[in-house]
Structure 1
Amino acid sequence: MTPDTAIARITAALEPEARIRALFLSGSHGNGMADDWSDLDFVMVAEEGLTDEIAALWRDAVGRVGEVVLWRDRIVRPALINAVLAGGIRIDLIALKPEHMGGQTRDALKPLIDRDGLHVTLPDGGGTPATSPARLRYGFDEFLRILGLLPVAMGRGEYLNGVTGLFHLRNLLTELMIEETAAPHRGGALHLNRLITDEQKAALAALPVPAPEREALIAAHLAYAAEYLPRARQLADARGVEWPERFEAATWDYLNDTLGIARAPAAGPQPKIATT
């Protein structure tokens, strides 16, 4: 079944339901950047939000597209339903009360049902969503926190956990690179190719993915630190975010005291950073 057919079936099923005041396509299909692998994302507006009755209506509508093999109803977030259908079709819904539509923008939504003309009242949006200084600082602190757990994993011989910790560092580095490019319409986790530059891809590809062995893990953590920390400092300067100087210094002191690790040098030339 094509995405257009699936969208049409869901819309037709919900059109007679006056309790549903609006239904919009969001995500890649809403902003015009969908490809053959994009899932279907919807934003619904109902007076009472996502009630059991609204969830039942949605389940019936999605069931007209195909066999539902996974259904997560308000498990991850109170306004979210995730569905996976046989054949790999993925359909997500966020259902909101009208007064909770303030975080939506007109350019990111395509109206399917709009009984009250909500779409034209939304702000234009566009450009790159601003990440708050607090959220950026959280990422910097989190990288240092996880880096500082390396002596614990090595001291306990928890080399499998050391690999897990390294992948947390990799995720934080990837998030940082996306911030560097300030890419608009970031989409889901599987859109990385269009969110980072060739230089960033090469830097990620060059970083080690080690076996769960002591020396390999130590070397890999240092390689990630050398790639992340200079980039993060430059981003902090560009965005006016205070750098955690004391936390970084204390982390390197701890690594040196426990593992004899000196402060990591920068990995190489750093990219230009978007300031918005």
Structure 2
Amino acid sequence: MTHNETIRTITEATRNAPGVKALFLSGSYGNGMADAYSDIDFVIVTEDGATDSIAALWKEAVGKTGNIVLWWDRTTVPVLINAITADWTRTDLIILKPEQMRAHAQDTLKPLFDHDGIYSTLPQTTLPPIPNPARFLYQVEEFIRVLGLLHLAAGREEYINGVLGVFHLRNKLVELLIAETNAPNRGGVLHLNRLITDEQKALMIGLPPALPDRDSMISTHLAYAAAYLPRARQRAKVLGIDWPEQFEAATWQKLKETIGVERPYDIS
């Protein structure tokens, strides 16, 4: 079944269901940026929100499109249902009450049916992402904390854990690069190519791979520190955030004492 056929089948299976006010496409299909690899994101608006009866209705509707091989019913978010069918069509559903639609805008949605005209009451465009200074500071401190654990991994010869540490540093660097571009249509985590610049991609590609041995573990941590920390300092200035100088300095001092490494960038 094609994605368009899946959308039509689910639309017709829910259009006249009791208590269902509207059904929209969101995500890539809602903003017109879908490709052959996109999942299908839906928003359903119901009188009573995310009830068991609506979940059962949705499971029946998705079941009409193929055999369901994965079904997560409100497991991570109380209004979210994730499903995958046997042909690996991925559908996500957000279940909202009418008043909860205020956080959405017309440019992020495509109406499939809208019995009460909810779409016309929504703002036309989405506001650009607003930086969250507290979250950014947490990201920086978490990067420094994971970096500081390098001395522990080296001392215990936990080189596999060292590789996992690099994974965490890499995620923090990616989040920083996305924040720098302030991309308006972020989409899911599988859309990195459209969220960062060519210069940022070259930076990521040029970083060394993490290997489970002492020298590689140390050099890779330092490479990520050199890539992340100067950029994060610059963004902290833009956001008016006080840099955690004492924490970073204490971390580099500990790494120098234990494994003999220096800060790999100049802060002057």
1:186 corresponds to: 186
1:18 deviates by 3.0
**Which residue pairs with 1:22 in the alignment?**
22
Confirm whether residue 204 of structure 1 aligns to residue 204 of structure 2.
yes
Compared with structure 1, are the counterparts of its residues 197 and 91 closer, same or farther at alpha carbon in structure 2 (3 Å cutoff)? same
Matched residue, 1:143: 143
| 8 Å Cα contact 1:153-1:159 kept in structure 2 | yes
* 1:75 partner amino acid: T
Question: Which deviates further from its counterpart, 157-166 or 237-246?
Answer: 237-246
The one-character-per-residue Cα deviations of 1:161-186 (angstroms, maximum 9, x if unpaired) are: 11011011001101111111111111
Deviation, 1:225, is 0.2
- 2-structure distance, mates of 1:131, 1:83: 32
User: Aligned equivalents of 1:108 and 1:85: distance in 2?
Assistant: 25
Task: Assess if the C-alpha contact under 8 Å between 2:159 and 2:212 holds in 1.
Answer: yes
> Gaps spanning 5+ residues in structure 2: where?
none
AA in 2 matched with 1:226: A
Deviation at 1:127, TM superposition (A): 5.5
**Distance of aligned partners of 1:102 and 1:148 in 2 relative to their CA distance in 1, 3 Å threshold:** farther
Q: Using the alignment, how far apart are the partners of 2:248 and 2:106 within structure 1?
A: 41
| 1:179-202 deviations in Å (ceiling 9; x for gaps) | 111111111111111111111111
Q: Aligned-pair distance for 1:90?
A: 0.3
* CA distance in structure 2 between the partners assigned to 1:100 and 1:253 by the alignment: 50
Matched residue of 2:82: which SS?
Answer: strand
Partner of residue 110, structure 1: 110
Paired residue type of 1:40: I
Look up the match of 2:236.
236
Residues 24-39 of structure 1 correspond to what in structure 2 (within 5 A)? 24-39=24-39
User: How big is each residue's C-alpha offset from its partner over 1:82-124, in whole Å with a ceiling of 9 and x where there is no partner?
Assistant: 1011111000011112222232222111111212221122223
- Corresponding residue SS for 2:190: coil
Show the 5 A alignment for 1:57-72. 57-72=57-72
**What letter is aligned with 1:200?**
Q
> Aligned letter for 1:11?
T
Matches within 5 A, 1:1-276: 1-126=1-126, 128-265=128-265
Question: Any idea what the Cα deviations from partners look like across 1:114-161, whole Å, max 9, x if unmatched?
Answer: 122211222233363223111211211111111111111111111101
Change (3 A) 1:263 1:81: same
Quick one: percent identity of the two aligned structures?
57
Corresponding letter in the other structure for 2:88: G
Q: Is the 8 A contact 2:104 2:126 kept in 1?
A: no
SS at match of 1:93: strand
Residue type of the alignment partner of 1:255: L
Aligned residues: 266
The Cα shift of 1:254 comes to 1.7
In structure 1, distance between residues paired with 2:127 and 2:194? 15
* TM superposition shift of 1:15: 0.6
In the aligned structure 2, how far is the partner of 1:242 from the partner of 1:181? 21
Q: Is the 8 A contact 1:128 1:185 kept in 2?
A: no
| Residues in 2 aligned to 1:181 and 1:255: alpha-carbon distance in whole angstroms | 32
CA RMSD of aligned residues (A): 1.3
